[in-house]
Amino acid sequence: MDIKSVILSDPINNWFFSRYRDRVYLVGGYLRDLLRSRISKDRDFVFKGDVERLSLEVSVKFGGTLVVLKKKKVCRIVFPDKSVIDISLLETSIEEDLQARDYTINSLAWSPEKGLLDLYGGIADLGNRKIRVISRQNIADDPLRILRAYRFAATLHFTIDRDTRSCLKHYASDIKGVSSERVTYEIILLLNSYLTHKYMMLAFNDNVLHELFDISNRSLLINLKLLKKFDIFWNRIHLLRDKRRLNSNVSDILNKDVGQELKSVGLVRFAILFLGAEHAAGMKRFRLSNRVQNAVHRMSVAYSLASGRITRNRLYEILRTAKGCEYEAALLISVIKEKAVDKYLLRTSEYLKISEKSILSGHEIKGMLKSVSGQQIGDIQEELRRRQFAGTIKGKTEAKEFIRANLT
């Protein structure tokens, strides 16, 4: 690969280097992905000069929104397509800057003047699919890097070097001092990734999860086993979708964003990890939006209703409780009951269709009953939906017969 040609063919990269050729470097994840034959929309630059002024210039030139993260040191430009450019102040030499980074695969830099800089064997580690720390002190300096190791391993499908895992375990307790916002962001990315349970289990064995989840080790281990079952189920969904045995919309729905960049599939995983915990207390380590917290809570209540035999009536109650995350609850139940992967998902589609519109309108119900309040109409419609889902009412005629037999 002619890395220079690829980098400079991008108009934003070309603009940076044509104007500030000897003062700016492209660093980190963009280069890591490029060397893996992937083009990242996000990029990081380090710049020797006025970072805020440069960032403002970039935001005006390319139509992005400027966010100052650390005054005069780090700025972010967010674009309408959600791509991001981070520009950081290069306070020392590029060599010292790379030495202070977290993992070898992220300690890469490029400029037209110096070409590709790889001082710590990052390219070799990319080839070996390995996460390796540059120095133990770098983890001590920023313990959030502990979580980043598992997140990178999960998103890249890499292994974590043995000495690096020893380092992560040694500094695990220091993660308590990291801000909730930063911890939450890393956990969300990890929960959205492929085979999350594998890397969560590593973090558990390295004593990292104990510092984050305020539940007993026994409960956490039980939840991790359920998480593994869920991940196997999730993979089967994609196989079924490929074979056209499952509604293709289901996978899209479960990949939707529920807030804070957490996907529906990540929401199910979050709920699984908190099963058996007091949610208000258990989630205090994370900075979650009310929307996400409420969704996790609804999932937990839905789970508590899933003990015993799942009748049509029981499933209706579960889905009604899980309002707004019905498919997620259906997936969780499928895992618990170890049923065919599409059984509860297809019934959920049926439930949502029934919920969209009452089989009888309020006007029709009012015409049948002499005196009925708005609340009573709502209760009647709810009972009709329940019976329609159970299959005991199949059309308007049967719905009216039910009202005549029971309410007149």
159 φ, ψ to 5°? -100, 160
The rounded distance, in Å, linking the Cα atoms of 366 and 179 is 56
Q: What are phi and psi of 212, to 5 degrees?
A: -110, -40
What is residue 247's predicted lDDT score, i.e. its pLDDT?
A: 54
Domains of the chain: 1-121 (3.30.460.10), 129-212 (1.10.110.30), 233-356 (no CATH), 359-408 (no CATH)
Three-class DSSP category at 26: strand
Say what the pLDDT of residue 335 is.
Answer: 83
Q: How far apart are CA 363 and CA 396, in angstroms?
A: 13
**Secondary structure string (H, E, C) spanning 74-118:** EEEEECCCCCEEEEEECCCCHHHHHHCCCEHHHCEEEECCCEEEE
**Which residue ranges in the chain fall short of pLDDT 50?**
none
Tokens of 406: 């029971």
Q: pLDDT value at position 118?
A: 97
pTM over 0.75: yes
Q: What is the pLDDT of residue 34?
A: 94
- Provide the CA 312 distance to its chain's centre, in angstroms: 31
Ramachandran angles phi, psi of 256, nearest 5°: -75, 160
The pLDDT value given to residue 165: 97
Total Cβ atoms within 10 A of residue 398: 14
Residue 50: per-residue pLDDT: 94
How far, in Å, CA of 157 to CA of 149, rounded?
A: 11
What pLDDT score does 133 carry? 98
CA distance readout (Å), 293 to 284, 338, 400: 10, 27, 40
* Whole-number pLDDT of residue 367: 87
pLDDT of residue 240: 60
Distance CA 385, CA 341 (A): 25
Tokens of 79: 């674009």
Angle at 187 between CA 259 and CA 339, to 5 degrees: 80
